[in-house]
């Protein structure tokens, strides 16, 4: 399988978040798909689940979910989707074994994300742990693709996903995501009581 040169998302994850958004709030799927131009919809329908959906099309998913649900409710949707997504074929094998090892330790669960990132996102950025502190894990998004400046709603979706990792750990937590002034990197500080 040839890897794309532009940022892209695994089609399986795109379809799964759209399906979940419909469960989260019935009617969302049709409303989001109505925002898609024809070529973006055709690429989604024609692509294989393991294929890549380029950002030129995928941003319609992220932007559409936020347009339909609003920013806060969209983050709630992405957060709630995490428990659903870890049981999907793309992540099930990777996550299920790892979750048995890390149990409900928030730091270790958040620490799994950099390993799972390349299964979901290609050429968006590199994700890495940038240290740990008691009850806090900073994640660094390095070498952000320049096209993300045109599509900042990805940061909203990623904040929601990070919040969802707290659901797996069964703790209440907060995520503060900041983008560097040069827009080359971002940091998410994930903290819990």
pLDDT at 99 over 60: no
pLDDT band at 1 (very low <50, low <70, confident <90, very high): very low
Tell me: the pLDDT tens digits for 25-83?
999 999 999 999 999 999 999 999 999 999 999 999 999 999 999 999 999 999 999 88
Model pLDDT, residue 164 = 92
Model pLDDT, residue 4 = 42
Q: How many of the other CB atoms lie within 10 Å of CB of 129? A: 14
Whether 169 and 157 have beta carbons less than 8 Å apart is answered as no
Model pLDDT, residue 116 = 85
Tell me: the pLDDT tens digits for 135-184?
999 999 999 999 999 999 999 999 999 999 888 888 899 999 999 999 99
Q: How high is the mean pLDDT of the chain?
A: 89
- Tell me the CA distances in angstroms from 58 to 10, 43, 67, 107, 153, one per residue in order: 10, 10, 14, 30, 11
pLDDT at 193 over 70: yes
pLDDT at 124 over 90: yes
The percentage of residues in the chain with a pLDDT greater than 70, rounded to a whole number, is 88
Where do we find the tokens 């149990």?
103
SS3 79: helix
pLDDT at 2 over 50: no
Tell me: the pLDDT tens digits for 13-32?
999 999 999 999 999 999 99
pLDDT at 12 over 80: yes
pLDDT at 185 over 90: yes
Whether 69 and 61 have beta carbons less than 8 Å apart is answered as no
Name the pTM for this structure.
0.89
Task: Give the β-pairing of 121-122 and 136-142.
Answer: unpaired
Model pLDDT, residue 118 = 92
Whether 178 and 165 have beta carbons less than 8 Å apart is answered as no
Q: Would you list the DSSP string of 149-178?
A: GG-THHHHHHHHHHHHHHHHHT--EEEEEE
Query: What H or E segment, with its residue span, contains residue 141?
Result: strand 136-142
Model pLDDT, residue 130 = 87
Nearest to 114 by CA among 162, 76, 154: 162
């Amino acid at each position: 399988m040839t890897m794309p040169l532009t940022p892209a998302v695994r089609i399986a994850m795109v379809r799964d978040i759209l399906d979940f958004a419909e469960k989260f709030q019935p009617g969302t799927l049709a409303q989001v798909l109505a925002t898609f131009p024809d070529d973006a919809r055709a690429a989604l329908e024609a692509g294989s689940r393991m294929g890549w959906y380029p950002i030129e099309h995928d941003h319609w998913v992220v932007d559409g979910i936020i347009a339909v649900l609003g920013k806060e409710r969209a983050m709630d949707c992405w957060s709630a989707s995490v428990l659903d997504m870890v049981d999907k074929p793309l992540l099930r094998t990777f996550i299920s074994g790892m979750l048995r090892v890390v149990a409900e330790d928030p730091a270790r669960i958040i620490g799994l994300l950099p390993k799972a990132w390349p299964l979901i996102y290609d050429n968006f950025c590199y994700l890495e742990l940038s240290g740990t502190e008691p009850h806090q894990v900073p994640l660094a998004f390095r070498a952000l693709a320049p096209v993300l400046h045109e599509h900042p709603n990805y940061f909203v979706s990623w904040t929601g996903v990070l919040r969802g990792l707290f659901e797996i750990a069964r703790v209440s937590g907060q995520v503060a995501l900041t983008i560097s002034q040069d827009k080359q990197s971002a940091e998410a500080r994930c903290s819990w009581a």
